[in-house]
């Protein structure tokens, strides 16, 4: 006996149209969550701007400016390259390479896709004593944060004792971008994650495995060299050829 599938109620649109309506409706759950996260982001930014911190303003402003164009990280790379020996030179090269890749990914990729405007520093009331020049690029994500955490993760591969201090310094640089009013907190969080992720990916790619020769494989006997063979199979050293007799008369 044939079975019949239940028919949709009269007037109901097809399933494809229902999904399309769900995705394009402004009040979908995803859009509501993203809007609420944006509200939290802006609220934290406003709270930092409204909190008086006269003893922190000048040091954080100087730190933020020192990190422009990755100057602080390039200076550290030069120092460890000079004083760190072979491991220091390797760590410096890896760190500088990671900064270059991270900057390209952010400026040519992510910032072009998500074009978030810079914060309204005047409207939030950020004190003038802590302000730095407002960049002309997009706000999301923070390039300073990405470069700092990318450099720290890369250098830490070769110099583990520097991993924690560099991450702490990268965190201070990242916060200084919010303190000076040029980034939202969400910008520095995502930028830090992207920078650390790029560094870890590059570290894996640069960790080339060493393929042992067949005679070095564990559990296999070493093939003897011809001079190690017993008896008549042993290689004999070549004797110098005897000089030919001269036929000149």
Q: H helices of the chain, where?
A: 15-24, 29-50, 54-66, 71-83, 85-105, 111-113, 121-124, 143-158, 163-179, 185-206
Structure confidence at residue 246 (pLDDT): 54
Structure confidence at residue 198 (pLDDT): 96
81 against 115, higher pLDDT:
81
The domain spans of the chain are 56-206
For residue range 90-103, list pLDDT tens digits in order. Answer: 999 999 999 999 99
143, with CB counted inside 10 A (0-12, 13-18, 19+), is buried
Whether 46 shows a pLDDT value over 90: the answer reads yes
**What superfamily in CATH does domain 56-206 come from?**
Phosphatidic acid phosphatase type 2/haloperoxidase (1.20.144.10)
Where residue 53 falls among pLDDT bands split at 50, 70, 90?
A: very high
245/223 Cα distance (integer angstroms):
43
190 against 224, higher pLDDT:
190
Q: 66: which residues sit within 8 A by CB, 6+ positions away?
A: 72
Q: Are 181 and 142 in contact (CB under 8 A)?
A: no
Where residue 32 falls among pLDDT bands split at 50, 70, 90?
A: confident
171/201 Cα distance (integer angstroms):
20
208 against 53, higher pLDDT:
53
Give a three-class secondary structure readout of 234-247: CCCCCCCCCCCCCC
DSSP state of 10: T
Structure confidence at residue 61 (pLDDT): 96
Mean pLDDT of 200-205: 90
DSSP state of 26: T
User: Which string of b and e fits 180-208 if b means at least 16 CB within 10 Å?
Assistant: bbbbbbbbbbbbbebbbbbbeebbeeeee
144/195 Cα distance (integer angstroms):
9
For residue range 55-84, list pLDDT tens digits in order. Answer: 999 999 999 999 999 999 999 999 999 998
State both tokens at 163. 């991993």
Structure confidence at residue 233 (pLDDT): 46
Structure confidence at residue 115 (pLDDT): 81
Structure confidence at residue 242 (pLDDT): 59
């Amino acid at each position: 006996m044939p079975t019949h599938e239940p028919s949709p109620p009269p007037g109901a649109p097809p399933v494809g149209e229902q999904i399309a309506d769900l995705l394009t409706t402004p009040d979908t759950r995803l859009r509501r969550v993203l809007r609420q996260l944006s509200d939290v982001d802006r609220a934290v930014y406003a709270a930092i701007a409204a909190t008086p911190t006269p003893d922190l303003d000048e040091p954080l402003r100087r730190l933020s400016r020192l990190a422009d164009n990755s100057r602080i990280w390039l200076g550290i790379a030069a120092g460890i390259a000079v004083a760190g020996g072979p491991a220091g030179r390797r760590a410096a090269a890896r760190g500088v390479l990671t900064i270059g890749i991270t900057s390209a990914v952010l400026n040519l990729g992510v910032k072009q896709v998500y074009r978030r405007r810079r914060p309204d520093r005047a409207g939030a009331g950020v004190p003038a004593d802590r302000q730095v020049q407002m960049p002309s690029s997009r706000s999301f994500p923070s390039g300073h944060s990405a470069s700092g955490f990318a450099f720290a993760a890369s250098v830490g591969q070769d110099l583990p004792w520097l991993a924690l201090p560099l991450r702490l310094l990268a965190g201070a640089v990242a916060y200084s971008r919010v303190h000076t009013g040029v980034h939202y907190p969400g910008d520095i969080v995502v930028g830090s994650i992207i920078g650390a992720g790029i560094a870890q990916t590059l570290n894996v790619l640069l960790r080339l495995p060493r393929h042992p020769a067949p005679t070095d494989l564990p559990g296999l006997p070493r093939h003897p060299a011809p001079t190690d063979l017993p008896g008549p199979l042993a290689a004999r050293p070549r004797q110098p050829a005897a000089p030919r007799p001269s036929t000149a008369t």
